[in-house]
Amino acid sequence: MITLNHLPAQAFIEPATLTRVTQLVQPALHTLEQGTGAGNDFLGWQHLPSGITGDQLAHIERTAALLRTGCEFVVAVGIGGSYLGAKAVIEALSDNFAAYKPAAGARVLFAGNNISEDYLAQLMQLLAGKRFGIIVISKSGTTTEPAIAFRLLKEQLEREQGREWAAQHIVAVTDARRGALRTLADREGYVTYVIPDDVGGRFSVLTPVGLLPIAVAGFDIRALVRGAVEVETAQPEMVRTYAIMRNALYQSGKKIEILVNFDPRLHFLAEWWKQLYGESEGKDGLGIFPASVDFTTDLHSMGQWIQDGERTIFETVVSLATPHENLTIPHDEEDLDGLNYIAGKRIDEVNKMAELGTRLAHLDGGVPCRVIGVPRLDEEPLGQLIYFFEKACGLSGYMLGVNPFNQPGVEAYKKNMFALLQKPGYEELSATLRAKMEP
């Protein structure tokens, strides 16, 4: 089971602050679990892991097998919560160099998470003439980024492989009833999966939104869900502790939480975590800013700031106990690089000492540091980690006093973009923006 060591951070919090914040946790937990707070129509994720049936998982696995065996590539099209969960899990479980090694099944690629013309054109060049599948994921079915990517890829697939073949290799994950994607999927006869009404995008990785692409990539979604069920049913103390400590640190002037890893495969887990906490808590002029670093890489860039910059940060290190591989540092007769003092040691031992040394240095430098221990980067611990972060996020948001399940702020850029692109209905805003931009 994953663990949390928060003690090194406690020294940075006044006892009175800790007492005051700790008193918020039970009422917040009650609000979350009884569904009595703001956003209570988006609490379905709490029982997703234990609620998924064997039949539902088997259906996802069958669709995944069809795509995995019938296609060279499968493109998962989505953005935000319809992208980051699958990306995080697939990256965490994949060989670092999987893209350059032979694959046992379809390779999963991602699109619809940006509007880069070069990205989309180069993706289409890669896919040209190849049998590829598409998993198009959008709860609303109207989000611009995935809609553009899907329009391009669908057109390419139908043109190259024929409409019938395309329809058999496009899967839509969307709302049960509403949205353009639902209408199209029903008309074309795509296989579809439903994103439950009461599950918001950033809490949806344990629905087909995340599970289908993860299964296509060849990973064990049953073990992932099992890990999540373990945390859902055990309700470990670490959920409460994580939420209490981050709120107490926030009240103590620590406005930025940095999620730290010492393994590059965790990079996208941090991206997923940043969305989860950033979109859930950053509102009403409140909220810890969630940031992330990849160590030791970023010790040679952001390390200086973390050690010595403004003291408004705290760290949460995701610490992997055991690597999958076993590699030792060789002895060298000449020892020109001076590394013989660690010859015979495993690379992981050096990495662990880098981690410990960094944590101690940062504590000395005034950076509170907590550690989440993860036994191995496998499906089950990842499932535990996902549910742990989700539950702690809902709890932490209510303790902060915000609605953790809406995201009103993301509409601002969309409105401006639509107005600047002269979308019908946005004429007035378009005129206002253009007037603002005039010299």
Residues that bind ligand PA5 (CB under 6 A): 79-82, 138-140, 143, 146, 200-202, 279, 407
Burial of 148 (0-12, 13-18, 19+ CB in 10 A): middle
* SS3 category, 294: strand
Shortest gap between Cβ of 174 and ligand PA5 (angstroms)?
Answer: 8
CB of 18 to ligand PA5, least distance (A): 31
Shortest reach from residue 206's CB to ligand PA5, in Å: 14
State how far the alpha carbon of 341 is from the alpha carbons of 285, 354, 356, in Å.
Answer: 52, 15, 19
HSE-CB of 120 using CA atoms within 13 angstroms: 18
- Nearest residue to the partner ligand PA5, using Cβ: 201
80 vs 368, beta carbon nearer ligand PA5: 80
Instruction: Give the nearest distance from C-beta 396 to ligand PA5 in angstroms.
Output: 16
Tokens of 66: 């069809």
> Which residue lies nearer to ligand PA5 by CB, 202 or 359?
202
* Whole-number Å distance between alpha carbons of 266 and 318: 8
Question: Which of 200/383 has CB closer to ligand PA5?
Answer: 200
CA distances from 88 to 69, 214, 228, 321, 379 (A): 23, 10, 15, 19, 12
Task: Give the separation between CA 52 and CA 49, rounded to whole angstroms.
Answer: 6
The secondary structure of 98-116 as a DSSP string is: GGGS--SSPEEEEESS---
In the complex, the smallest distance separating the C-beta of residue 145 from ligand PA5, rounded to whole angstroms, is 8
Closest CA to 395 of 196, 226, 236: 236
Closer to ligand PA5 by Cβ: residue 173 or 244: 173
- Is the Cβ of residue 32 or residue 137 nearer to ligand PA5 in the bound state? 137
Beta bridge partners of 191: 171
Tokens at 275, concatenated: 């969305």
Write down the least CB distance from residue 140 to ligand PA5, Å. Answer: 3
Residue 326 three-state SS: coil
Nearer to ligand PA5, 119 or 165 (CB): 119
Rounded distance, CA 105 to CA 214, Å?
A: 12
Nearest CB to ligand PA5, comparing residues 19 and 183: 183
CA distances, 80 to each of 83, 180, 283, 432 (Å): 5, 19, 17, 29
Q: Which of 370, 402, 407 is CA-nearest to residue 13?
A: 370
CB of residue 137 vs ligand PA5: minimum separation in angstroms? Answer: 6
Catalytic residue IDs:
279, 300, 414
